[in-house]
Amino acid sequence: MEWLLNIIHYVVPFLILLGVLVFVHEFGHFIIARWAGVSVSAFSIGFGKELWSKTDKKGTVWKISAIPLGGYCQFLGDADESSSTSEVDLSKYSEEEQRHLFATQSPYKKLAIAVAGPLFNYLFAFITFFGLFYFVGSYDIPPVVSDVIKDSPAQSAGIIKNDKILEINGKKINDWSDINKEISIAIDTVSLKIERNGQYLTIDVPLVEMEYAFDETEKPIKRRMIGIKGETKQFKVVKDNFQLIPSIKKAAEEVYNITDMTLRGVGQMIMGERSGEDVGGIIRIAEMSGDISKTRGALDFLYFMALLSINLGLINLFPIPVLDGGHVVIYLLEIVSRREINTKLRDGLFKIGLGFILFLMVFATWNDIRHLLTRWFD
């Protein structure tokens, strides 16, 4: 019976999470393509064998496929479902069809279609955050230490209950979520500016990997932390937060802060300041979504979904061939140069990009497996 509960807590939330985010991303490409006059041959959630399909009035095949690890929006004239960059044989299409091929569009329209996917991920995150703040309330927790974990670096450094954290590594702290963000991207040590009984202190605390669980229902796992706790981990209903403009502002700030945190973390990995072990993939996402659905509430799950939506949108904007960002760079070059990039050169770049993405996927999966083994058997 336990295996059935694990499916409910881990597999089902993961499929819902990934399905929603993939749909949002691909729908961005789809809706802007339709607006630009490009015919969409297929819209799929998942890859591989078709499990369900329906064709709409404009000829788009909407389908759900067997491998739920992504999806695609295939345009008329694409060589395959991955939107291959191979040159299109126009002789296969009528004059009317040629007007609706992706390949025959101006670079401006191609650019808009490429950018739309990541932008819709950002839009989804913004709307989700706004909905949480406006209709539910705030999840703000004052940056005041409610407890210090025994034998932790924070206790050794002299941090005590009721210390108010003002800054971490020079970054201003407004609420407890800022503490989590700054500690998550710190390297080895964090410098805390603290207010205690009207006095201001600066304390350096090393980051240490410790076993920790939010509550007795969660299995302890290793996390890098300094060993302090805030008031609560879940959303709180605060009726005076039900205001339109403040909720819009707070949602925009949340989107910005998560983007900033992600870029800083990636930059640290590129510079060699952060270990590649932090790179996670599909398995890690499934694990985290399952943990949240199992031990927390729907609001935390929605927040996690919005956070991942931002990461999906941002990563797709990286200027790597095959990703949307790689397409964006090519279309910008074509706009500036007023000529199409050589097809062989473009295809070669995309093959290199595909190889790099496959390498990252294998590397991330290896990290995920090691993480799971450590969690299960350590």
| Residues carrying an active site annotation | 26
- In the sheet that holds 171-172, the strands lie side by side as 171-172, 164-168, 189-196, 199-206
Spatial separation of the C-alpha atoms in residues 350 and 378, rounded to whole Å: 41
Continuous H helices in the chain: 2-6, 12-35, 95-98, 107-131, 153-157, 176-184, 244-270, 282-295, 298-316, 324-337, 343-377
Q: Which residue is it, tokens 């706004």?
A: 130
DSSP string of 157-196, one letter each residue = HT--TTPEEEEETTEE--SHHHHHHHHHT--SEEEEEEEE
The letter for the amino acid at 238 is V
228 DSSP 8-state letter: E
Rounded alpha-carbon distances, angstroms, from residue 107 to 113, 177, 308, 329, 344: 10, 41, 29, 11, 18
Measured CA to CA, the distance from residue 291 to residue 9 in angstroms comes to: 8
> Is 104 strand, coil or helix?
coil
Provide the phi-psi class of 147: left if phi over 0, else alpha when psi is between -120 and 50, else beta: beta
CA triple 58-64-66, angle to 5 deg: 145
Is 323 in contact with 312 (CB distance < 8 Å)? Answer: no
Q: Rounded to the nearest 10 degrees, what angle do helices 107-131 and 244-270 cross at?
A: 120
